[in-house]
Amino acid sequence: MWIRFNFTLPGVYTDKLLLGLGVLLVIHAVACRWAGLYRGMWIFASLPDLKRVLRAVGVSALGLVALLALDRRPGPEIPRSMLILFPVLLLMVMGGGRAAWRMWKEHRIYGALRAEGKPVVVVGAGTGGAMLVRELERSPDWHVVALVDDNPAKWGLELHGQPVVGGIEQLPQVLQDFKAQHVILAMPSAAADALKRSADIAVRAGAHVFTVPGIEDLMSGKVAINAMRPVDIEDLLGREPVKIDSDHLKDMIGGKTVLITGAGGSIGSELCRQLARFAPARLVLVETSEFALYNIEQWFRVHRPETQIVPLAGDVKDAARLEEIFATWKPQLVFHAAAYKHVPLMEVGNAWQAVRNNVLGTLLVAAHAQRFGAERFVLISTDKAVNPTNVMGATKRLAEMICQAMADSLTTRFITVRFGNVLDSAGSVVPLFR
């Protein structure tokens, strides 16, 4: 009323106003109780709290309508404009008060922390990016300085106060402009190709790259949006990881002696780690590099002390050493991963060594596996054995032909597995990026 009459209150309205105001306050208190406003914490005021405020204001406005309709006392009528002014002002006071309190409290608590965090650029201005920026506003470790997104409609806009400055291709320039060295990929539902492209651009710009959890984990509530981790190799795979038949493998491997050649290499060491999951009786690790053999032995001591391992230094070209190993341990499964694999290095200057190691070595190991009654011999080959155009590919093709020729064995089953490009292998680009 005071606002309605230009900040004055005519005396003729005093009696009506005092009585009506008392009744209206009771109605409003009941409405707030019904809407649950007394349960909300102002420092965490958000959209659900605004909905409660709207319900309370709506009930109070209906109470005012009822009061005006039932008021039959003599005197001037309450202006009908109060039906609009009252709920609008009430909403501004109740909603605005909560918003102002939260803004002041967050600035007081987190304002200093934001300045201390490492500057970071977020890739993705969608739902995932919005959730992440909101969470990082309270983080003492990170300070979001900008976002990039390939949707031009978002360029120049702001997300929780942070600017969307351009597309992903502009990321190197954005990192330089904002003096940031960290990038977070906030695209939990993006395809692997999009993640791979974004990570590649960020890595080439010299940034440390992190990603948020997948959309399934977020929707299930297993993890929060701010549970960031470094980009994993599986994120860059370009397809979903193959799910292995664990039950079948446990039946095949469990309780048996397994021999792995090249056990300290990129593929061989990972084979050892995965095979250990299926409870073999023992793993016989054959490796020509002392350092690589030591590394894989130490890994088992720390991470899989319950697995019995037999670390053996040996060369697959050494027939006498192979004879000793097979005679002593009589492996039931043999995984032959020992090979020279670097294409440029195995050309002219080292071609003969590639033939000796990849061809003769395979022949010797396969022959010993057959002679000592191994159940299975698995050759780890490569896609470069298909129509080979280089020495390394040709030697691996010859190794495959050796296994094909011996496949008629009645005692040993010979299997060839062709790998494509092995992500994160020794000498690949991923460790170089790191």
pTM value is 0.53
DSSP for 131-157, please give it.
HHHHHHTT-SSEEEEEEE-S-GGGTT-
- Give dist(CA 127, CA 87) in Å, integer: 33
Comparison of pLDDT for 161 and 106, the residue scoring more: 161
Question: 34-74, pLDDT tens digit by residue?
Answer: 877 766 665 556 667 778 888 888 888 887 777 766 666 65
pLDDT tens digit string along 333-392?
A: 999 999 988 788 888 788 889 899 999 999 999 999 999 999 999 999 887 778 888 888
| Residue bearing tokens 């230094």 | 313
- One DSSP character per residue, 206-225 reads T-EEEEPPPHHHHHHTSS-T
Mean pLDDT of the chain: 80
- Region 117-236: CATH code: 3.40.50.720
DSSP 156-218: T-EETTEEEEE-GGGHHHHHHHTT--EEEE--TT--HHHHHHHHHHHHHTT-EEEEPPPHHHH
What integer is the mean pLDDT of 163-177?
Answer: 93
Query: Residue 353 is encoded by which pair of tokens?
Result: 């060594």
Domain spans, the chain: 11-110, 117-236, 246-433
Compute the C-alpha angle 39/135/107, nearest 5°: 70
Evaluate whether 117-236 and 246-433 have a shared fold.
yes
DSSP letter string, 68-80: HHH---SSPPPPT
What DSSP character marks residue 240?
P
Q: For the chain, how big is the Rg over CA atoms in Å?
A: 35
For domain 246-433, give the CATH number: 3.40.50.720
Pick from 165, 239, 228, 168: which is nearest to 201 by CA? 168
Q: How far apart are CA 197 and CA 404, in angstroms?
A: 40
Q: Is the pLDDT of residue 299 over 60?
A: yes
The Cα 399–Cα 223 span in angstroms is 46
